[in-house]
Amino acid sequence: MLSTVNFFGDATMNIIQRLQKIMPENIKPIACSWEEHLAKMQKISEEASLQGSSLAAANRYRVEWWYLELLEII
């Protein structure tokens, strides 16, 4: 699971960094540290698992969370 977290986290950070170079005035900085961001991700994943979600559903939930975080940042 950590590799999934790292993959989506790295991809999201790369997108944000590229956008900041293009239009820095429109991109807000992340409101928390990278460790706090990963902790949020872990909590969401655990909640999805506790609700009886399958691994695929939990992964989809994590992807949706990253997408929403990216939209919030942009």
Residue 74: pLDDT over 60: no
DSSP output for the chain = -HHHHHHHHHHHHHHHHHHHHH-GGG-PPPSS-HHHHHHHHHHHHHHHHHTT--HHHHHHHHHHHHHHHHHHH-
- Please state, rounded to an integer, the average pLDDT across all residues of the chain: 61
Residue-wise pLDDT tens digits, 4-31: 444 555 666 666 666 666 655 554 555 5
AA letter at 23: M
From residue 44, alpha-carbon distances to 2, 24, 28, 61 in Å are 13, 29, 23, 8
Model confidence pLDDT, tens digit, residues 23-67: 555 545 555 666 776 777 777 667 766 666 565 565 665 666 665
